[in-house]
Structures are given as C-alpha cells and as structure tokens.
Amino acid sequence: MINLTKNNIKIRAAATNKADAISQVGQLLVENGNMQPGYITSMMEREKVAHTYLGNGIAIPHGLPKDRDLILETGISVVQIPQGVEWNPGEQVYLVVGIAAKSDEHLEILSNLTHVLDDEPTLKRLAQTTNPDDIIACLTNQSTNGNGHGVEAISSDFANGIDVVIPGTVGLHARPATVLVNAAKAFESDIQIRYGNQTANAKSLVSLLKLGVAGGQTVRLMAQGRDEAAALASLQREIEAGLGEEAEETTPIALGHSLTFESSAIPGIAASPGLAIAPIFQLKRGKIVFEATAVDPQAEETRLRQAVETAKVQLQELYDDVKSRSGTGKAAIFLAHQEFLNDPELLTEAIAQLQDKRSAAWVWQQAYEQRAHGLEQLHDPLLAGRASDLRDVGRRVLRLLADRVEDESSLPKSPTILIAEDLTPSDTAGLDPTLILGFCTAYGGPTSHSAIIARSLGIPAIVGAGPAVLNLSNSTRCILDGESGNLYPNPTQADLEVARTAQQDLQALRETEQLARFQPAIMTDGHRVEVVANIGAAAEAEQAVNAGAEGVGLLRTEFLFLQRSHPPSEDEQFAAYSRMTKALNGLPLIVRTLDIGGDKAVPYLNLPAEDNPFLGVRGIRLCLQRPDLFRPQLRAIYRTAQMGAVKIMFPMIATLEELQAAKAMAEETRLEIGAPVVEIGMMIEVPSAVLMAEEFAQEVDFFSIGTNDLTQYVLAMDRGHPALAKQADGLHPAVLRMIDHTVKAASAAGKWVGVCGGMAGDPKGAAILAGLGVHELSISIPSVAAVKAKLRSLSHAQTQDLATRALKCRNAQAVRALT
C-alpha cells in the first residue's frame, strides 16, 4: 500500500511541454527519496518505447524496468497542470502521475486511477482543485466497482474458462494489458477476465487496467462465442509467453561505465549491451521471386497449405533450438509465429483470392501484407512490433512458395558487425556470436524479439538507427556501443583505443568472477554454503576443481554404463572412480549408485519395457533386483574409499525397506573388502522420502535433494515433457515446502542436506536454498563461479527472508518475481 501525502503532490504547476512535466514529477519523486535523479532520464526513454497516456487527461510516466535499481522506495507523485500540457498530438494531460515502482505496490493506485477515468466531473475537479487532499482521497480510496468501462462485480461467468497466472514482476500494467487486448481483439467471441470478484472486458485496455492484477496472480480467462476455444487457447499461450514482458526481465550485463568518443556517431536505440569493434557487413534481404498468376487454383491451394505446414515445422525446430540455448521465454516468439499461421482467417483470405487465377505466393503475400499494414496504421509501437513479426512469418511461407530468391547476401566468414534494415527473430536466432560481433538495424525497437534474442546471445546491438546506416559501405570499420546505442563509423585511433580498453575492462569484469572462483561461498554475515559439482565422467573431476568446485556432490555413475555394449567391470569402475579421487586430491566425491531406468535406458541390459518407466523399476529398485550390477559397483566404490574421500549415495529411495536393503548390501561389501566406513546418504527425490524424512534421517549421514525428480513427482509432471517444461518449475512453492520439511527433519537429527538438482544452479534457486538452510549445492561445472559469487554478495539473513516469502507464494511465477 502506497502512502500518499501532500509532499507527493504539486498543484497549480505549469509545464512547457511533456519533457518538462516528466522532469517536474520526477523531481518530486527524487525529493521524496523514491528514486535517484537518473531515473528521470529513464522516464524520458520510456516515452520513446511506450505510451504512458492513460486517457482522459491523465498520464502515468515511469522508467524502463532495466533501471529499476535507481528506485530507492516505491512511490508515486502527482503534478497537477490546470492549463494542461500536450502529451501526444491531440492528447492534453492535466494530472501527471509519476510512478517509481520497485515491484507492484503501485497497482492499487493505478487501479483507482482507472476507476476515475470515465468519471469526467471528478477528473475536472481534480484538474482544477487547489486542495491536494482531493487528489489524495481519490487515489487512495479503496477500489470501487467500475461504471462504464467493463469492470463489474461478478454476476455470471461464461461457461467456458480457464485459470491462468499473470506473469512478470509488475502485473497487468499498461503494456502487457495492451498485448492482451490486441490478442483478444483478434477473436470474435466475447472475452472476459475475472480477478477476484471483478470482471473486465479483455478487449478494453481501461477495463483490464481497472482490475489492478499484480504479477503472479491468477485470473480466470473466459470466452463465449463461435471461436471461444481457439480464443482461450491462444490467449493462454500469449499470457504464458509473458505478454511481451520477457525483454524487461533480462538483466543486461552492464559495462559499468559510459564511454565518450570524439568520432561522430550515428545514434540509435541501445538494444543489447556490450562493445564491438569490427568492419561492417550490409545484410541485404534477398528478393523473393514468384509468378503472380497460376492456372490451377486447386493446386495452388494445396501448395499454400503445404507451405504453411512446413513453416510451422520450421518454427517448431527454431523454438526447440532457441529454447535449449536461451530458455523458454526467449523462444516463445516462435510459438507466437506459429500462432499467426494457425489463424484460419489469414489462410481463408488468401485462398479466396486464388479464384482470380492468382498464384499461391501472390495471394499469400497480399494477405499478410494487408494485415501487417493494418497493424502499422494503429501507430502503436507494440502493434508495429507485431506487424514486423507477421512479415517475418509471412516471408517464411513466401520463400517456400517462391521460384527463387535473388541477391541474397551470405554472411561473411570473418568477424563482423551486421547492418540491416531490420532483423527478424528468425534472422537473429541464426546468428553465430563468434562471427557476428554486433548488429545495428535501421528500424525496429528495443523491445523487439530480435533485441531480446541478441541479449540472450550476448551480442551487442543497436536498433532504430535510421536509414543512414544503410549507406555505409561494406568493410567500414566501426565501433558499436550497445550501452549508449551509438554506432561510430571510421572511428579515430584514439577512440579505437578507448573502445579496446573498455572491452578489456568488460572482459575483466567477467573474469573477476572466474578469478574469485576458488574463494569459498561465505556470505556477508559469515554463513558458508559449500558449492560442489555434478559430474558424469572421470575427466570432469579435474574440470570441476579448476572451475572452483569444492568437491563433487553428485557423480552420476550411470553415465559409465551408457553408450557401450556391456556393463563396465568392477576394475573399470575402480579405475574411473580412483582417477576422480586423485583429481579431487582430498575434496569429497559423492558417488551415487546406479540410477538406470526412467529416461536413462541401457539397451544391453534388456530390461522389460514399462508403461510408466519413471514409476517403474528404476534407480535403487533396479539395483536391488540386479545384484550382478550392484555388487561390482559397491566393490569398486569401497576399493576407491581405501585411497580417497568417498561418500555413497543411493538414488530414488521411496521406502525405509529399500534403504535398509541397500545399506545392508553395502556393509556386506565393505566387510568383504576390509574398507573403511564411509558416509552413506540418500537422494530425496520421491515425495514419500520427504514425508518420512524424520525416519530416514535416523538411517543416513546426509540427504541430497534431487529437485529434478522431486519436482516431477510432486507436481506429477514428466520432467522431459516439452509441453510441461515451463510449469514443471522446481521453484514451485510445493517443491520448496518439501525441501523445507526435509531440511528441518535433517537438522533435528543433526544431519546435513545438499541439493543436486538443476534448481541449485539457478541463482535465484541457490539463494532460496541457502535461505532454507541447505548446506551444500551441487551444480553443473560452468555455473560454479557465478553461484559462488552470487552467494558471496548476499547475507544469510537476506536469503532466509527470501525463502520465507517464497514458501508463502502461491505459484512458481510469484517465487520468481520475488526480489
């Protein structure tokens, strides 16, 4: 809840223009300790990429999400301008509501604002009042139900609906709401969104804003009409893909200083940080050549339908590729592209024109161009972005229908800065960061998907630099500063040196993390978390040590059994394990016994096929049934224990009996060999193990939580299922509560707990786990330096607070949104 006082209100102000008004409201926020002065610049920048005019004389300027660290405390300020100031052509603003929002506390006020939007007498009064209390009263009143813009107390829901979680850290604010409205308008059905006891028309921006939905909240999406099912499915995907907010959640790697060059610059918009120095290459889009006419409409229709289907397959492949490199969010644009192709009207419109003896290529180009043009006419940067997405996907199909593509430039084989009119997400996803050191486009905006993809690939980029960049000749040497958004053609020698030094500084910044990799992860208040590595092969033990790992927390021994025609012998296993302990030189090696089954098949074992392999004879269940596999492994491990620091861990334990049987076999083997006693632990990856953790803790020396499997079994979502990948999130509070329970049970018994699932290598996951009291994080080798650095930058108390809040969340998105 935001506290609004007279100090936050300036009445009877005058502003010469919009910038002056923003600067006044920003100044008020600075004076009230809400933000640093730099955020005013950010507010100005925001105007370039999104409208902040709310309607009826109210504007809500706010900064770019990437600058949120300039916000000291969430707050708002209001500047009343009785004479008005022109915000956009034809839009007069009388109340400027400046927002400095760290998270979503301001949504309530935004919601109240939208409630007075259609209340003209109140607005007139607020625009002229000389009493700041009038404004305070109006903005801090509890939300009342709306009157005319579609928010109504819920009376009757549509029959068809689904619950969806609004993603993002700032909820359903103007930009994502615009995306949603635009998506909803594509359908004929009536579409409503219910939040609590209020319902909004999903096709009205004002109506949606009135709901004041915060990030992580669940709303009910409902549709009624001819295309209701398609509408629900499409809007659900749009919401899950982030409603265009993905770009803002990316934290760019900051250079740490801004650079000044003496050479003249071509200014553009900063899209992806970093510096590049290289000759340029002008990327020319090929000319797609096709006949405009055709004789057989039926054959053309078939060709068109086939091309659309092929394009969908290509997009699925692109989605999978980008997802594996940069994550689901970044890849989501290609799902949205598929969505364009699923639009039956686009195809119907095209096919209808075939009757005039037009070719498939011609009618298709007409259909998508017409639609893209329509979107551009709306003069909204977001919708214009969708127009270029539509052209991207349109050209994809067109190429498949073309006779040939002429004058297409092929990318050079040496490092270069790419210049293009615009780059499509498909173009950007295909760039090789070792050859394309940066790119600069004449058109496009910083929230375009190509900018998002550039950031995820770490390619410095500038967009919207204007057509001047297209006149530069190939091979012109340039400096591209992705931080300031400037391109410097033919820079002076002095500038080149400045740029090279800055590049080195940036590199050094990244290396600092690497250099500190051997420092323990001691948090600012002295609490230590051990950071160890997950490995699957002998050679990786040395790599782990070199990467800063303090040992191996999980050796997946099944990897020694894969890709061969018979199981490794006891001696072979002994050779591998002892090579690891040698490389670790006294650091611990936790050997997990064979975890075969589930998704790890070993053909030569000829195991019977199972309907549900993840619930079948896997892990310890298999080992207990197959002493011919288990005993040699245990012997190899105990032989290694005679010379190195080994611990044993059993996977997939579900019952006390399984654990006891495994322990008994291990002890028999130890006695046989005369090996020393070693610590014995078990993986916690099955819900029954969590619920019986008190009993299990009496039986073992440690627990290691396998969050990959625990998540799939707690949420009943196959860990490898492509459609469930986003939902099967280990940060779901249900999983976190399982971990919390496990840690408490272990600590009551004086036992330590590690986590060796993927969640431990996610910086947010690592912080939450540290806060939950996990002692050891076992992660992939490349993440070691970064996770250690992250933990060193935090206090244990901070992470405990984070963990406490995470446990109370309602879903994984809300946990991810915590700061």
Active site residues: 62, 173, 449, 756
- Interior angle at CA 387, CA 385 and CA 392, nearest 5: 95
Q: Pick the closer one to Mg ion by CB: 386 or 592.
A: 592
Instruction: Point out which span in 369-377, 503-511, 660-668, 705-713 binds Mg ion (CB under 5 A).
Output: 705-713
The two most distant CA atoms of the chain are separated, in Å, by 94
| Cα end-to-end span (Å), the chain | 17
CB 6 within 8 Å of CB 132? yes
* Distance of closest approach, residue 594 Cβ to Mg ion, in angstroms: 12
| Positions in 674-693 near ligand PEP (CB under 6 A) | 685
The entry of Mg ion, ligand PEP, none near residue 556 (CB within 5 to 8 angstroms by kind) is ligand PEP
* Distance of closest approach, residue 554 Cβ to Mg ion, in angstroms: 9
* Distance of closest approach, residue 814 Cβ to ligand PEP, in angstroms: 23
3-state secondary structure of 767: helix
Among 709, 729, 762, 776, binds ligand PEP (CB under 6 A): 709
Strands 552-556 and 486-489: unpaired
Q: Pick the closer one to ligand PEP by CB: 482 or 730.
A: 730
CB 270 within 8 Å of CB 472? no
| Positions in 533-562 near ligand PEP (CB under 6 A) | 554, 556
Q: Is 706 in the site for Mg ion (CB under 5 A)?
A: yes
Separation of alpha carbons 411 and 699, rounded Å: 62
Supply the DSSP symbol for 133. H
| Positions in 578-597 near ligand PEP (CB under 6 A) | 595
The entry of ligand PEP, Mg ion, none near residue 756 (CB within 5 to 8 angstroms by kind) is ligand PEP
Instruction: Point out which span in 294-302, 396-404, 630-638, 684-692 binds Mg ion (CB under 5 A).
Output: 684-692
* Distance of closest approach, residue 730 Cβ to ligand PEP, in angstroms: 8
The neighbour count for residue 328, using CB atoms within 10 Å, is: 18
The entry of Mg ion, ligand PEP, none near residue 553 (CB within 5 to 8 angstroms by kind) is none
| Positions in 62-91 near ligand PEP (CB under 6 A) | none
Instruction: Point out which span in 105-113, 387-395, 400-408, 705-713 binds ligand PEP (CB under 6 A).
Output: 705-713
* Distance of closest approach, residue 659 Cβ to ligand PEP, in angstroms: 17
Separation of alpha carbons 366 and 633, rounded Å: 67
Instruction: Point out which span in 95-103, 254-262, 508-516, 701-709 binds ligand PEP (CB under 6 A).
Output: 701-709
Instruction: Point out which span in 46-54, 250-258, 700-708, 793-801 binds ligand PEP (CB under 6 A).
Output: 700-708
Quick one: angle between helices 328-342 and 449-457, nearest 10? 150
Separation of alpha carbons 678 and 645, rounded Å: 8
Q: What is the dihedral of CA 572, 578, 583, 586, to 10 degrees?
A: 160
CB 661 within 8 Å of CB 694? no
Q: Pick the closer one to Mg ion by CB: 392 or 709.
A: 709
* Joined tokens for residue 759: 């969640």
Among 36, 708, 780, 798, binds ligand PEP (CB under 6 A): 708
Q: Taking Cα atoms as reference points, which of 277, 426, 408 lies closest to residue 340?
A: 426
3-state secondary structure of 731: coil
Separation of alpha carbons 204 and 408, rounded Å: 43
Separation of alpha carbons 240 and 220, rounded Å: 14
Q: Pick the closer one to ligand PEP by CB: 530 or 685.
A: 685
Supply the DSSP symbol for 169. S
* Distance of closest approach, residue 702 Cβ to ligand PEP, in angstroms: 14
Q: Taking Cα atoms as reference points, which of 447, 432, 71, 511 lies closest to residue 272?
A: 447
Instruction: Point out which span in 94-102, 180-188, 335-343, 703-711 binds Mg ion (CB under 5 A).
Output: 703-711
* Joined tokens for residue 390: 């539509």
Q: In what order do the strands lie in the sheet with 218-224?
A: 152-153, 198-201, 190-195, 218-224, 160-165
Q: Is 238 in the site for Mg ion (CB under 5 A)?
A: no
Among 214, 700, 756, 806, binds ligand PEP (CB under 6 A): 756
Q: Pick the closer one to ligand PEP by CB: 101 or 682.
A: 682
Q: What is the dihedral of CA 624, 625, 628, 630, to 10 degrees?
A: -20
Q: Is 709 in the site for Mg ion (CB under 5 A)?
A: yes
Q: Pick the closer one to Mg ion by CB: 191 or 652.
A: 652
| Positions in 444-473 near Mg ion (CB under 5 A) | none
Interface with Mg ion (CB under 5 A):
685, 706, 709
Interface with ligand PEP (CB under 6 A):
554, 556, 595, 685, 706-709, 756-757
